[in-house]
Structure 1
Amino acid sequence: MTAPIRSICCIGAGYVGGPTMAVIADRCPQIQVTVVDLNAARIAAWNDADLSKLPVYEPGLDAVVGRCRGRNLHFSTEVEPAIAAADMVFLSVNTPTKTKGVGAGQASDLRWIEASARQVAACAQGHTIVVEKSTLPVRTAETVKAILSAAQGDVPGGGEPKSFAVLSNPEFLAEGTAIPDLENPDRVLIGGEDSDAIEALAGVYGQWVPQERILRTNLWSSELSKLTANAFLAQRISSINSIAALCESTGADVQEVAHAIGTDSRIGSKFLKAGPGFGGSCFQKDILNLVYLCGHYGLHEVAAYWQSVVDLNAWQQHRIARLVVQKLFGTVTGKRIAILGFAFKADTNDTREAPAIRICQDLLEEGAQLAIHDPKVPEAQMASDLGCPAEAGGWHAVASPQLAVGGADAVVILTEWQSFRELPWMELAPLMRRPAWLFDARSVADLTAARAAGLQVWRVGMG
């Protein structure tokens, strides 16, 4: 039997690694948890005495980190000693879509996974359980196992021989609710071939997760389950957005349609909210990965089906930008447009694949002047995502909705922040140039109040 886990190392201090390890440390005070990353600025932010400066914004994360940082939760750039001291190493590094070479635009770039596996192979001592936490294509564990197997055996100069077990433990976090998702998960999935290693990891989660929610599968089922879960969720978003466009053309209301079909127990109500499309680090990347894998195995019709989910998502974002131009008399050149929200969803500062990026780029291409406000996304991140600095790019970041709407011809809501549900339209509308429009791509605004204030309104999926 494998001994209880006493020390965990997580390679990667990003959106997955940081919160996941914080909750493990919080719920397992007997385990020393060290999160390592070569990005010194990121580690410094995790160690900042001011918990509001953590590099990842998640409601409740600051409290969890505050309880256990310095006790049994540590953040460090010292990778090798942390690996050497660990009974279990989580690989939680970035796996972006390849931009060049074979599979460019679809396949995952696994360079950081390979680099991490080689570092574990070189630095681990004794028996080490290696856990894939990053979202990975099916059979990536073969690569990790091959690298680790080459390092197994006797250690020069003596000492306990090296040995490894490889597990797949994909994350199923929704950004904005990551802490409750970790503290009360629908399921924890552990895939592997070594039963002792599986039970060792199950024993960690079992400190707070009921046993019936800890699912055990083989490696390949675990890896594929993560891609499939994200693909199914994204497909629902693209599906309801396609119906939203039809609702606008026919006079139907997508909210009423979604409610009607969501009451069918076979369908359910989740992920049936029309909007500007999906974003975040996983959905598009994982579907494109699935497309690539299906093509690799000759399943071209299957690949085309999943590609259509991504294509529809991009179409929805281009459609919203075109609609803004159309409603503003066919041109936005030189016109000020207030953009409310830049994060891909509320309660996170993550902008990866955010719908706002494509919509803003389209409007900038049309000559619009954008005033962008988001409660958590800094201007530097916006500049990076838009590919141009504010002073030269036709846009600038502002600190409040009031500053954004001053002199604007239109307001476009692209993130469902709670504060945008409570905007005082009677105060904001007079600051705008008439005739003024409200484009509510998230269905959060008080349209009655906006109309009463003299605004013309468009809401996604409203005929």
Structure 2
Amino acid sequence: MTTEIGSSLPPIVENPRMTVIGTGYLGATHAICMALLGFDVLGVDVDSSKIAALQSGRVPFYEPGLSDALSEALASGRLRFSTDFAEAAEWGDVHFLCVGTPQSKGSDAADLTYVDLAFTELASRITRRALLVGKSTVPIGTAARLTSLVQAVSPAGTELELAWNPEFLREGYAVKDTLHPDRLVFGVQSVWAERQLAAAFRPILEEGTPLVVADLATAELVKVAANSFLATKISYINAMAEVCEATGADVNLLATALGHDSRIGSRFLKPGLGFGGGCLPKDIRAFAHRADELGVGQAVAFLREVDSINQRRRVRTVNLVEELAGGSVRGLRVAALGAAFKPNSDDIRDAPALDVARMLHEAGAIVTVYDPEAMENAKRSYPELNYADSLAQAVEEADVVALLTEWQEFRDADPDDLAELVAHRRIVDGRHALDAADFRAKGWEFRALGRPANPSTVSLEADAREGLLAFA
């Protein structure tokens, strides 16, 4: 059904048929969730094995709740998958493009090869008015360039419009963040594009979700600016951890005190091993690179120090293991708990946990890795490491245990039970996820980034006080 809105505007398709080009983490999640919202959706990818898996009801990566959502969407008849760009071009009214923008080899710049190819392949086949919507994280100016590109290659010419709708998904919460986002951002070039995009998100907007309507450049900037701010906040408290280590202060108590300041807040003011994954590291590097190209590199020069602080936390974690071992890890049996860059994910891209495990291995340690979900991905990328099938198997006869990803299974581990399995009661908490006082009381040598190696009685009581302070 279409509705004419004024004599000067093209018709709006009130219940648009959607395509989602690229069925990786972002694309598969978006396609599934838009079908759950009641739209007819076609997911398209050049990877036929990925398409076959999704069409058969199997999500090719781990994301809580997404497998059930896929089954529901397929059963509704509103979701299907294909490798045919021509079918997508003919069928869809609104096309969401969700392809990856990895870091370029030998450069901090974003690699836009897949973005350019996806837009070109689809646009060259579109013969009628339609809306292309970019969701990938791209350098500022990409959408304007792509607008000229797609209109030049499409038989529809200027009838084919382009908009940008950045995503703000958190791995582990992707279904919730797609169905109930904290905001929507529309980067558009016409009233028609704004209203057509609003029709595509009507169920979400009807919930009262805040909407920011902007130009293309601002919409592109929102995502990289948000990621840069988040990365900066994480690295700030980790910079303070470095100061704490030099002074004997306790970074956890410092973070708690800072978090009570309403101007700062406690969210993501969490010290530890730092950030990784497929977004923050590459996005802040690409942002700084693009700013240099635009002649405003000084404005975001601090992002390079943010990146440096983040990398130093990995090296410092290795140092803590070495200190517990008396100075050398050669021949040391290390249980590395965690491989994914964060819990509730199997994503190992730029994973701090595996980076630490790799560095320990290269220093001569015998490293055994265990992760509840990321084992197969880790084995493919780091075949030189040893792998265990369970937490108990990983820590058996370990000289040092290193908690590197804060899975709940590791948080809940009982220090007495672990003590029965390890060779020595030594643990490095890279994520500030454990009760330090409890472990120390049960005979463990306990180290954590930014916390005293030999705390006073007052510091030993800090863990108990932190819970009270957090809710004061």
TM-score by length of 1: 0.91
- Residue 259 of structure 1 and its aligned partner are, at CA, apart by 1.5
Q: Distance in 2 between matches of 1:321 and 1:79?
A: 48
1:18 equivalent in structure 2: 28
Partner of residue 139 from structure 1, selected from 116, 141, 164: 141
Q: Secondary structure at the match of 1:165?
A: strand
Instruction: Provide the residue aligned with 1:359 in structure 2.
Output: 356
Counting only pairs closer than 5 Å after superposition, residues 269-418 of structure 1 correspond to structure 2 as 269-379=266-376, 381-386=377-382, 389=383, 393=384, 395-418=385-408
The separation in 1 between residues aligned to 2:265 and 2:78, in whole angstroms, is 41
Q: Which residue in 2 is equivalent to 1:112?
A: 114
SS across alignment from 1:89:
strand
CA distance in 2, matches of 1:409, 1:350: 28
Match of 1:239 among 222, 228, 236: 236
Residues 14-35 of structure 1 deviation map (CA, whole Å, 9 limit, x = unaligned):
11111122111111x2x21011
Is 1:220 paired with 2:209? no
Deviation at 1:212, TM superposition (A): 5.3
Q: What SS does structure 2 have at the residue aligned with 1:173?
A: coil
For 2:399 and 2:18, locate their aligned partners in 1 and report how far apart those are by CA, in whole Å. 54
SS in 2 for 1:281: coil
Change in 2 beyond 3 A, CA 1:384/1:146: farther
The CA deviation at 1:403 is 0.3
> AA paired with 1:61?
L
Contact 2:233 2:268 in 1 (8 A): yes
Q: Is the 8 A contact 2:187 2:213 kept in 1?
A: yes
> Aligned AA for 2:78?
N
What is the deviation of 1:457? 0.7
- Aligned partners of 2:125 and 2:154 also within 8 Å: no
How many residues are aligned here?
A: 440
Asked whether the 8 Å contact 2:151–2:158 carries over to 1, the reply is: no
After superposition, give the CA deviation of every residue in 1:396-421 in whole Å (9 maximum; x if it has no partner). 11111100011111111111111111
In 2, Cα distance between equivalents of 1:3 and 1:427: 61
Partner residue, 2:67:
62
% of aligned pairs identical? 35
**Shift of the alpha carbon at 1:441?**
0.9
**Is 1:446 matched with 2:456?**
no
- With over 3 angstroms needed to count, the CA separation of the structure-2 counterparts of 1:98 and 1:265, relative to structure 1, is same
Which secondary structure state, in structure 2, belongs to the residue aligned with residue 208 of structure 1?
A: helix
Shift in alpha-carbon separation, 1:153–1:66, aligned structure 2, 3 A: closer
> Which digits, 9 at most, give the CA deviation of each residue in 1:281-325, with x for residues without a partner?
111111111111121122242342111111111111111112211
The equivalent residue for 2:84 is 78
The match for 1:173 is 169
SS in 2 for 1:411: strand
Assess if the C-alpha contact under 8 Å between 1:152 and 1:163 holds in 2.
Answer: no
State the distance in 2 between where 1:410 and 1:236 align: 30
Distance across 2 between alignment mates of 1:212 and 1:450: 44
**Per-residue Cα deviation, 1:340-390 (whole angstroms, up to 9, x for no partner):** 1111111111111111122112111101111100000133x214433xx2x
- 3-state DSSP class of the match of 2:133? strand
Does the Cα contact within 8 Å between 1:153 and 1:162 map onto a contact in 2?
no
Q: Give the C-alpha shift of residue 152 in structure 1.
A: 4.2
2:463 aligned residue? none
Q: What SS is found at the alignment partner of 1:16?
A: helix
Residue among 407, 410, 414 paired with 1:424: 414
Q: Which residue pairs with 2:451 in the alignment?
A: 462
Paired AA for residue 31 in structure 2:
M
CA shift, 1:446, in A, is: 3.2
One-letter identity of the residue aligned with 1:181:
D
Distance 1:272 1:317 in 2: 18
Q: Which runs of 5+ in 1 are unaligned?
A: 155-160
Secondary structure at the residue paired with 1:150?
helix
Letter in 1 for 2:86: E
Q: Does the 8 Å contact 1:23/1:183 carry over to 2? A: yes
In the alignment, the residues of structure 2 paired with residue 177 and residue 130 of structure 1 have an alpha-carbon distance, to the nearest angstrom, of: 26
Give the Cα separation in 1 of the matches to 2:109 and 2:243: 33
Aligned to 1:437: 426
Which residue does the alignment assign to 2:44? 36
Tell me how far apart the structure 2 counterparts of residues 239 and 110 of structure 1 sit (CA, whole Å): 30
CA change 1:300–1:196 in 2 (3 A) is closer
Which whole-Å CA distance do the structure 2 matches of 1:69 and 1:89 have between them?
A: 19
Which sits farther off after the overlay, 236-245 or 66-75? Answer: 66-75
AA aligned opposite 2:164? S
Question: How far apart, CA to CA, are the structure 2 residues paired with 1:198 and 1:211?
Answer: 17
Report the residue type matching 2:186 in the other structure. Answer: I
Unaligned runs of 5+ in 2: 1-10, 453-472
- Indicate the larger mover: 202-211 or 179-188: 202-211
